[in-house]
Amino acid sequence: MADARPFHWEYVPEPVQQEFFRIEGGKPLSGSVAISGAKNAALKMLAAATLTGERCRFTNVPEIEDVRVMAQTLTELGVVVERPEPNVYEVAAGDVEWQFVPLEAAAKMRASFMLLGPLLARCGRVIISNPGGDRIGRRPVNLHVEAMRTLGAQIEYRNGYYFATAPGRLRGAEIRFPFVSVMGTENAMLAATLADGHTVLRPAAQEPEVDDLIACLQKMGAEIERTYPDTIEIEGKKRLRGAEHRVIPDRIEAGTFVVAGAVSGGKITLTGAPCEHLGAFIETMGRAGVGVSCGKDTIEVDGSALEAEGFTAVDIETAAYPGLATDLQPPTSVLLTQAKGTSHVRETIFEDRLEWMSELRRMGASIDIKDSHTAVIKGRQRLHGADVEIGDLRAGASLILAALAATGTTTIHGAHHVHRGYENIEGKFLDLGARIERLAEGNDASSS
């Protein structure tokens, strides 16, 4: 490996263009909205492209900030990334000049850690920043690291960086995860495709994006298969080839728009929507009284019950797929503020996924956050406009939903978080008749 560039021990984040959304709520949405490609599949495919020196072409890639960050990170490694047209990305990793993923990339996006497995397997070494610097404990990556060690890698952790080497090739092995991890599974999969011998991953994550990555890897010549629902087996190959793959639709974006139709009391159609990947969520919507009907690749949402008989309170609990996605807990919680009765929300995957609810309370929601995993929502509370702050991507999209349901004007600061994961979100809402603007902080001129 060429000498790594100087490390940035004193990392100062780049200034982000501060923006806010201004939303005037209370208007039922109508019309149709096209669902974009899945963020959580596309990012892994861009990383997977470094497993081969041949060109890979991905279509239906969402035009979002996280994809831009991953493309930029790859470019800085010496990989050629091209975007011949919107939503199409071509990656040619003939030469990976640097096997160094700096803190700048990791701090912007946790998924940059997905480069550990492929770079280690292909190049035999990588220095990669711990996502979030030294903040071990919150969203750790120990499962990823242990999986690589099981495949024969030597990994040391110093000053916020993992220094990983694989003398010779990685070796196929049986990897037993203590619990299910989506990116842990995916990182191990990518590494094992180029390892010497057979790898078994168990329990493997069952999210649709994992299967989409498997389909992509198979096109690249990998011998990889889900042999049981919770088991993935891989026979390592010496090399993989280029391939073309279309990214599956984003089930989280789709779920977000389902709730938008419902809490605005509107009627909307989602096109290119993955109904088959939304089982637990659609079942929850049905129990709450939201009209959701699935076509071949469309979802019709009817929120007219909101002002008629009203929605019904339901208890929800997040779980690994096929359970209710943790990424759909915030939108579902917004819906529950509009349901009659008491709903219990149990968040089992992450410990910081209820914090955003304090902002929802500022809009008039009655929510008792019992602990980091449990909240009780009493409805129906009429939401009203307020000045609120987005802390992360999913919370941000959910505050938009609350603002659409609210009377009056809501100002949502930190709009850039939402663009990490939602393509053209204000444009899509505008097309559905919402009154939404994206503005630069300190300047009331529209920037969208």
Contact residues for ligand UD1 (CB under 6 A)? Answer: 40, 43, 111, 139-144, 181-184, 325-327, 349-350
Cβ proximity to ligand UD1, 216 vs 434, nearer residue: 216
Smallest distance from ligand UD1 to CB 302, Å:
28
Cβ proximity to ligand UD1, 143 vs 155, nearer residue: 143
Smallest distance from ligand UD1 to CB 348, Å:
9
Smallest distance from ligand UD1 to CB 351, Å:
7
Smallest distance from ligand UD1 to CB 258, Å:
18
Cβ proximity to ligand UD1, 63 vs 431, nearer residue: 63
CB 165 within 8 Å of CB 191: no
What sign does the CA torsion over 149, 134, 185, 104 have? negative
Cβ proximity to ligand UD1, 254 vs 268, nearer residue: 254
Distance CA 232, CA 224 (A): 7
Smallest distance from ligand UD1 to CB 179, Å:
6
Distance CA 118, CA 193 (A): 9
Q: Which helix (H) or strand (E) holds 68?
A: helix 65-76
DSSP state of 419: H
SS3 assignment, position 225: strand
Of the candidates 157, 85, 81, the one whose C-alpha atom is nearest the C-alpha of residue 116 is 157
Place of tokens 């470094």: 50
Cβ proximity to ligand UD1, 316 vs 434, nearer residue: 316
Smallest distance from ligand UD1 to CB 294, Å:
22
Identity of the residue numbered 265: G
Cα–Cα–Cα angle for 274, 393, 56, nearest 5°? 55
Smallest distance from ligand UD1 to CB 251, Å:
11
| Tokens standing for residue 34 | 């096209």
CB 372 within 8 Å of CB 351: yes
Cβ proximity to ligand UD1, 22 vs 108, nearer residue: 108
Cβ proximity to ligand UD1, 7 vs 350, nearer residue: 350
- With residues binned 3-state (H G I as helix, E B as strand, rest as coil), the percentages for the chain, rounded to 5, are 35, 30, 40
CB 120 within 8 Å of CB 145: no
Is 4 exposed, middle or buried, given 0-12, 13-18 or 19+ CB atoms closer than 10 A? middle
Smallest distance from ligand UD1 to CB 180, Å:
6
Cβ proximity to ligand UD1, 144 vs 237, nearer residue: 144
Q: Which residues contact 200 (CB under 8 A, 6 or more apart)?
A: 174, 175, 231, 232, 233, 234
Smallest distance from ligand UD1 to CB 330, Å:
11
Q: Which residues contact 445 (CB under 8 A, 6 or more apart)?
A: 439
Cβ proximity to ligand UD1, 142 vs 154, nearer residue: 142
